[in-house]
Structures are given as structure tokens and as C-alpha cells.
Amino acid sequence: ATIHDQKLQRGAGGELHQFAEDGMPVLTTAQGGPVSDDQNTLRVGARGPALIDDFHFREKIFHFDHERIPERVVHARGYGAHGYFETYESLAAYTRADLFQRPGEKTPAFVRFSTVAGSKGSFDLARDVRGFAVKIYTQQGNWDLVGNNIPVFFIQDAIKFPDVIHSVKPEPDKEFPQAQSAHDNFWDFITLTPESMHMIMWVMSDRAIPRSFRFMEGFGVHTFRFVNAADESTFVKFHWKPKLGLQSVAWNEAVKINGADPDFHRRDLWQSIQSGAFPEWELCVQLFDQDFADTFDFDILDPTKLIPEEILPVKPIGRLVLDRMPENFFAETEQVAFMTQNVPPGIDFSNDPLLQGRNFSYLDTQLKRLGGPNFTHLPINAPKCPFHNFQQDGHMAMRNPVGRVNYQPNSWNQGPRESPAQGYRHFPAEEQGPKVRLRPESFADHYSQARQFYISQTPPEQRHIAASLIFELSKVETPVIRERMVSHLMNIDETLASKVGHALGFKSMPKPADAAMPTRQDLEPSPALSIIEQ
Ligand code: HEM
């Protein structure tokens, strides 16, 4: 055999493996054609014009030109890892979800942590909410628990989501500020939306600058339902508790870290998993029924409220261990598609109006972000259990029905069938009422839990909340917006309000805000504003 022949080998299936002169596999085009020169375009003479015949150059540049896909409209910056979920005990009394039946059983999982407001290239230590999105590949299909590191949310109804997000993202004319809540549009919207006050107290606290992903809690936020084999429902709230405990950094540390290492959180996750220090969380639940829910003044469907753990302790039901980094960031972390509507039999929704809106939004946005209806064909999104359906075609279809049958019922005795016994049954909640656009009265208290959160904090934590309010509001240029925020603080804690008001130069305190504030306010100076030193 010649030396040249030794660079060709036939595989077991007869395929041709070609090796370059140094023994490495030969570079090929996407069509599989071997490439002879990847350093120079095809030209007329060494100094002449390039030729359109150069299919290798054209394919290489074409592919590069199309590398970018839209970043997520929120939670654009994120970092993911693989792992598993392990069930502690059978929860058959509460849910028929297969993953909760057998103690010790492990189910594969993928998690993506994220910031909310910043763009894909923003820095890790922004003062922001963190996404905590978990995909568990159960034997009954994927369950996505798409949560945050804060147990409540800014708004009560999904129809306000575009507004809250527009207000926190860069202003449309300036295209800044980036990844910071410190600007007029954000505080304008927040102060005109009193239901956001509870969440704002969390966002101004140390919770919004975690030390790393490994030291964060996670929350499903909404009330969900467990449904057992007898179709009995129990309300459930989901919590992730980090094994390492909860830790944050101080603001001056966050600012320095962002400058020195904008990838601080992703580096931490990468290094800990690569070194075998696998981060771990316990999945805990708060389980309750309608009678228990009726004991509260607030509504368990209101996502701006939590159920205090002192009143209803959390019950650990399993653990999540992250033990493997993605091989490719884009294929896995960027293309993963979490959606709240991915639930297995035995887990169901409540009527939380934020959750109901989310159940529409994720599929819709991913259709655009991932370029068509077939993103479940990507390995990171595909179920890991057997699955069968008659979906076909569309851009980038990797799976199509095999054979004649692509519909049912059919007379050919082929293909999958529905199963009332095995299939997903929605909990048959009884619903009735007029068709209205109306916020229930039970959603009206916006301050009690904001106050409870503030007074539950230790004195240093309370000082941090005051300091971040002063810092953020001092960046707000419109005096009436600052005043409005302080008037809300008057309803939360008067000492905090006066500390912030004093630091902002107020001579006296504004009146407490009206909880039923109009959604629009005049920017003309109010009488109270005249008392503000400008
Ligand atoms: C993305 C959490 C409310 C729309 C995300 C992600 C998380 C998250 C963690 C990132 C997922 C990932 O890592 O890929 C939450 C929580 C909410 C909430 C905890 C409230 C409790 C909403 C609402 C809407 C919404 C009300 C819209 C009505 C979106 C969209 C994305 C997203 C469009 C981008 C998804 C993608 O491109 O793949 N959310 N979200 N979210 N969320 Fe939410």
C-alpha cells in the first residue's frame, strides 16, 4: 500500500474515514466533501479576484453569516448544567406523576440559571431576579418547572408582562441602561403598579445579588396542583433549597466582581462541576387544600403573595444534583426550551392569571426563537421516554411518520392511540362566572407581605435594602417618581421610608400612596413635590 492509501480506512459499515497528512480527520464541507486548502480563497492567480466557483468559501461564510439566533426576549443571559432528580418517598397519595412514585429513583434533568433583564452579553452580578428553570425528563414526558430565585412576581396578570419587561429593558430611544433597574422607566412603571411592591422589596434585598447559582433558592412561584390516581387535587407550591445554604454578596462586592469578571457565576458553576463539587438542591413542597387556602386574607392564586413557611413548613420530597456540564453551550443551554405548560399527568395548573398567560407565552416565543415548530427534535428538548405521534414536516423536521399512516383513527391498525387511562387528564375543576376583565378583591392588598418581608430581615439586611433603594432612586431623574416610591414605602415601613426620603433630600415625607393608584399619573409637580429639595 502507498502512504496515500494508509490515510483511507473503511469503517465497519463500509464508510470511508479519511485522514490528513498529520493523522487527524480530513476537514470536510457540510456536504461531506474533503477540503484541500482552508487558508486561501480560490483566485485567478495569486493576486487576482476571487472566483464564485469556490463552493467551500461560499458555504463556510454563508454558515457563519447565519450563526446568530434571537436571544431570549427575557432571561437572555443564562448558564446550564445536566444532572438528575432523585425522589425521596412515594407521593402517590398526592400525585400520580410517575417520577414521584418510587423512593430512590433518579430521573435525568437539565437546569438553566439566568438573569432576567440583561442582554446575552451582560454581566452576571447585576441586581436582578435569577431564573431557575428545571427540565426533568420523566417517563411520562418532560416536566418543566420554570421558576425564579424569588418566590413572588411583579405583576398579578400576564397581560402586564410586556409592560414590566419593556420598562426594565433599555429605554427605546437611548438603548440604555443595560441590565440595571436604576432608571426612570422602570421606577415609573413600578411606582404606578402597587402590586409590584412585595417583589420590589425582594429585588432591593441581598437576594438579587447571589454569591453564585449554587447558593440560591428557587421557587415555582405559582400555586400548582398535584392530582392523584383518584383524581383528587392538592394545591402545591414548589421550592428549591440549596444544600450549601443561601449566600449573597454585598453591592460593592458585586460592582467590583462585574468589572473584574463578568462571567463570575458561570465560571463558578463550571469550575465546581468540573472539579466534582456537584451542587445540590432539595425539592420541597408546601401542600394544602382549599379550606387552608380560605384561612388567608390574600388569594393563593395571586403570584405576588407567598405562603409563609412558618405557617406551612416545606416538606422535602427529593433532590436535584448537577453533575455534568453541556458539551456545547449553544446546542444545549441556548437551544433549550422550557415551558410552564410541560407537565406530566399528576401535575396541573391553578387559575393563577400569571401562570395561565405563561402557558401561552413560552411556546409562542420559542416558535420564533428556535425557528419553527420542530425544536422538540433537538436532543436537549426531546423527551427521554418513548414517544409517538403523527406530527410531520415543517422546517428542519428530523422525524416523520414512517409508512402510510399519519392520522388516527385509521383502518390499517397502525400507529399510536389515545389512552383515557394512561393519558393526561386535566383536573375537572368546576368553573363558572361572567366573562369579565376584573381583578378580584382578594388580590387587593399590596403592602402586608412587603412589610412582612422587610421586618423579617436582619438589621444588616435591612440596611442593605435601604442602601439599594437610595442608590437606585438617586439615579432616577424625575422627582415625582422618587416621591411616588417613597409614598409606597410609607405603607411598608415608615422608618425605611424616612431613611430613604431623607437620603434623597426630602424635607418631609409625602402622604402614603393610595393602593388603588391610577395607572397613569400627572408629571406636573404635585404640592408634595414642592417640599423636595431639588
Ligand atoms: C423565560 C421565569 C413570568 C414569558 C423565562 C425563564 C425563566 C422564567 C426562568 C428562562 C428560561 C430559560 O432559562 O430558558 C418566569 C417566572 C415568572 C415568569 C418565574 C413568573 C412567576 C412570565 C410571564 C411571561 C413570561 C408572565 C409572559 C406572559 C417568558 C418568555 C421567556 C421567558 C417569553 C423566554 C423564553 C424563551 O425564549 O425560551 N421565564 N417567567 N414569563 N419567560 Fe418567564
pLDDT digits (tens, 9 = 90+) for 69-94: 999 999 999 999 999 999 999 999 99
Active site (annotated) includes residue 66: no
Residues 6+ apart with CB under 8 A from 304: 152, 153, 154, 155, 156, 195, 196, 198, 199, 443, 446, 449
Q: Which atom of ligand 1 is nearest to the CA of 222?
A: 21
Pocket flag, ligand 1, residue 366 (CB < 6 Å): yes
What distance in angstroms lies between residue 78's CA and the mean position of ligand 1's atoms? Answer: 12
Average confidence score pLDDT of the chain: 95
The confidence band for 518, taking pLDDT boundaries of 50, 70 and 90, is: low
Residue 187 pLDDT more than 90? yes
Residue 354 pLDDT more than 60? yes
The rounded distance, in Å, linking the Cα atoms of 483 and 508 is 11
Instruction: Please state the φ and ψ torsions of residue 171, each to the nearest 5 degrees.
Output: -65, 140
Residues 293-306, mean pLDDT to the nearest whole number: 98
- Contacts within 8 Å (CB) and 24+ apart, 162-171: 163/189, 164/189, 164/193, 164/196, 165/73, 165/74, 165/117, 168/116, 168/117, 169/117
What distance in angstroms lies between residue 72's CA and the mean position of ligand 1's atoms? Answer: 9
- Asked whether 324 and 273 are in contact (CB, 8 A), the reply is yes
Instruction: Identify the bridge partners of residue 18 per DSSP, sorted by sequence position.
Output: 8
pLDDT over 90, % of the chain:
91
Residues 6+ apart with CB under 8 A from 283: 85, 238, 239, 240, 316, 317, 318, 319, 320
pLDDT of residue 183: 86
Residues 442-471, mean pLDDT to the nearest whole number: 98
The confidence band for 319, taking pLDDT boundaries of 50, 70 and 90, is: very high
Pocket flag, ligand 1, residue 148 (CB < 6 Å): yes
Q: Quick check: bond before 416 cis, omega within 30?
A: no
The confidence band for 534, taking pLDDT boundaries of 50, 70 and 90, is: very low
The secondary element (H helix, E strand) that includes residue 227 is strand 224-227
The confidence band for 527, taking pLDDT boundaries of 50, 70 and 90, is: low
- Asked whether 271 and 278 are in contact (CB, 8 A), the reply is no
What distance in angstroms lies between residue 47's CA and the mean position of ligand 1's atoms? Answer: 53
Residues 448-465, mean pLDDT to the nearest whole number: 98
Q: How many CB atoms lie within 10 A of CB 479?
A: 18
The confidence band for 529, taking pLDDT boundaries of 50, 70 and 90, is: low
Residues 383-391, mean pLDDT to the nearest whole number: 97
Catalytic residue among 56, 82, 148, 491: 148
- Asked whether 192 and 519 are in contact (CB, 8 A), the reply is yes
Residue 533 pLDDT more than 60? no
The confidence band for 526, taking pLDDT boundaries of 50, 70 and 90, is: low
Residue 470 pLDDT more than 80? yes
pLDDT digits (tens, 9 = 90+) for 471-510: 999 999 999 999 999 999 999 999 999 999 999 999 999 9
- Asked whether 179 and 115 are in contact (CB, 8 A), the reply is yes
Pocket flag, ligand 1, residue 155 (CB < 6 Å): no
Pocket flag, ligand 1, residue 303 (CB < 6 Å): yes
pLDDT of residue 37: 97
Q: What is the pTM of this model?
A: 0.95
- Asked whether 50 and 41 are in contact (CB, 8 A), the reply is yes
Instruction: Identify the bridge partners of residue 233 per DSSP, sorted by sequence position.
Output: 227
The rounded distance, in Å, linking the Cα atoms of 496 and 87 is 43
End-to-end CA distance of the chain: 89
Residue 454 pLDDT more than 60? yes
- Asked whether 358 and 238 are in contact (CB, 8 A), the reply is no
Q: Where are the alpha helices (DSSP H) in 304-352?
A: 329
pLDDT of residue 178: 79
pLDDT of residue 105: 98
- Which range (335-344, 488-497, 513-522) has the least confidence? 513-522
Dump strand ranges (E) for 332-488.
347-349
The rounded distance, in Å, linking the Cα atoms of 493 and 143 is 40
pLDDT digits (tens, 9 = 90+) for 232-279: 999 999 999 999 999 999 999 999 999 999 999 999 999 999 999 999
What distance in angstroms lies between residue 58's CA and the mean position of ligand 1's atoms? Answer: 38
Residue 530 pLDDT more than 50? no
Pocket flag, ligand 1, residue 338 (CB < 6 Å): yes
Q: Which atom of ligand 1 is nearest to the CA of 75?
A: 10
From 73, 75, 153, the mutation candidate for ligand 1 (largest count of ligand atoms within 8 A of CB) is: 75
The rounded distance, in Å, linking the Cα atoms of 345 and 363 is 19
Question: Quick one: which of 210, 198, 71, 78 has its CA closest to 133?
Answer: 78
pLDDT of residue 509: 95
Active site (annotated) includes residue 252: no
Residues 388-415, mean pLDDT to the nearest whole number: 95
pLDDT of residue 127: 96
What distance in angstroms lies between residue 74's CA and the mean position of ligand 1's atoms? Answer: 7
